[in-house]
């Protein structure tokens, strides 16, 4: 009576085939990452040490450490996050919760899509004209971080808007029925229940801002400076530019040095992302739905 029919058997085989195909695709995505990490560890792991992480480059950048570049990268990422995250969240709240479907909002959405597709070198030239020259910030951390913030705004806006729209409409209607205003509903209900999606956008932004070279090369990062930045109006070294310099511009660099810099750069991205992912998992576990 409960024996499998030919249709059940065929469906199981098809399901197993697609499971195998999707599993192989997943493995193919992981293999390049493992190969890259393995190569970097094999070729650059020997230079990683406390001195390498906490000393400045010496001997024409052919020896020493990477601390000024490491410290400068943290400055750039932190300032870019402080600028782009509030603006991106505010824009997403307006588009998701306040704006109606009109020609104005359609133009805004089109602008966001186009901004996401602009090459980074174009953002760099814009940063030079707008922040370095027009606003008079000069080549500084502030100019570079503003350029990075504008470049990554679409990521924050899109991820935040999608997470806001994922909150059930019934939550809003229940709050309105209790007499809450629209802003009270957003602040007390919608935003707390969409924070995990917002953190996803922040994670993507951290990954991109840490590895960008062109936008900071023209706006705030320098070839070499042994001094640490004291304010956002100072210039700084950066890990991505430092990697480019030691790999292509400096003669006599030991073979393992660029690989060590790349390994630390990837380690920075993984560490920052891990903190954000851990926070996102913690907040997701506290959700009620």
Chain segment 92-117, per-residue pLDDT in tens? 999 988 888 888 888 888 888 888 88
Same domain, 39 and 57: no
Same domain, 123 and 35: no
Same domain, 36 and 179: no
Residues 6+ apart with CB under 8 A from 30: none
DSSP 111-164: HHHHHHTS-HHHHHHHHIIIIIIIS---SSHHHHHHHHHHHHHHHHHHHHHHHH
Same domain, 95 and 229: yes
- Residue 71 has a pLDDT of 93
Same domain, 77 and 12: no
pLDDT at residue 144 is higher than 80: yes
Give the residues across from 236 on adjacent strands: 221
3-class SS at 204? helix
Q: What is the mean pLDDT of the chain?
A: 88
Same domain, 75 and 127: yes
- Residue 2 has a pLDDT of 64
Calpha distance 199→177 (Å, rounded) = 30
Same domain, 39 and 97: no
Closest CA to 148 of 229, 204, 69, 224: 204
The two three-digit tokens of residue 113, written as one number: 């899509």
Same domain, 194 and 222: yes
Which contiguous run of DSSP H or E holds residue 58? strand 57-58
Angle at 110 between CA 220 and CA 147, to 5 degrees: 5
pLDDT at residue 204 is higher than 90: no
Query: Which phi and psi angles does 59 have, rounded to 5°?
Result: 55, 50
Which contiguous run of DSSP H or E holds residue 82? helix 67-93
Same domain, 87 and 202: yes
Count of residues for the chain?
289
pLDDT at residue 181 is higher than 70: yes
The two three-digit tokens of residue 287, written as one number: 């959700």
For residue 281, being part of any structural domain is answered with: yes
Domain extent at residue 35: 6-47
The two three-digit tokens of residue 184, written as one number: 């009270």
- Residue 238 has a pLDDT of 92
Distance linking the first and last C-alpha atoms of the chain: 40
Do residues 257 and 246 touch, judged by C-beta distance below 8 A? Answer: yes
pLDDT at residue 145 is higher than 90: yes
CATH number at residue 104: 1.10.3720.10
Domains in the chain: how many in total? 2
Same domain, 157 and 207: yes
Calpha distance 124→217 (Å, rounded) = 8
Same domain, 238 and 260: yes
SS3 content of the chain, % helix, strand, coil (to 5): 75, 0, 25
For residue 105, being part of any structural domain is answered with: yes
pTM: 0.86
Do residues 161 and 95 touch, judged by C-beta distance below 8 A? Answer: yes
CB atoms within 10 A of CB 50: 8
Q: What is the CA radius of gyration of the chain?
A: 24
């Amino acid at each position: 009576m409960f024996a499998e029919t030919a249709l059940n058997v065929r469906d199981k085989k098809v399901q197993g085939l697609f499971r195998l195909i999707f599993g192989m695709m997943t493995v193919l995505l992981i293999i390049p990452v493992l190969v890259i990490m393995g190569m970097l560890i094999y070729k650059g792991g020997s230079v990683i040490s406390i001195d390498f992480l906490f000393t400045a480059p010496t001997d024409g950048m052919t020896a020493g450490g990477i601390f000024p570049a490491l410290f400068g990268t943290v400055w750039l990422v932190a300032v870019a996050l402080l600028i782009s995250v509030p603006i991106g969240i505010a824009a997403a709240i307006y588009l998701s919760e306040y704006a109606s479907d009109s020609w104005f909002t359609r133009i805004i959405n089109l602008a966001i899509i186009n901004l996401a597709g602009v090459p980074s070198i174009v953002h760099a030239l814009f940063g030079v004209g707008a922040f370095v020259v027009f606003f008079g910030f000069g080549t500084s951390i502030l100019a570079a971080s503003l350029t990075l913030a504008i470049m990554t705004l679409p990521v924050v806006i899109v991820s935040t808007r999608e997470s806001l729209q994922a909150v059930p409409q019934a939550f809003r209607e229940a709050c309105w029925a209790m007499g809450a205003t629209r802003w009270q509903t957003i602040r007390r209900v919608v935003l707390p229940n969409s924070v995990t999606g917002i953190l996803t956008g922040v994670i993507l932004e951290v990954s991109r801002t840490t590895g960008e070279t062109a936008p900071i090369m023209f706006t705030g990062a320098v070839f070499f400076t042994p001094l640490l930045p004291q304010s956002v109006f100072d210039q700084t070294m950066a890990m991505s530019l430092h990697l480019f310099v030691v790999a292509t511009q400096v003669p006599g660099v030991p073979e393992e040095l660029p690989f060590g810099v790349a390994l630390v750069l990837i380690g920075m991205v993984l560490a920052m992302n891990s903190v954000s992912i851990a926070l996102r998992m913690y907040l997701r576990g506290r959700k009620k739905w």
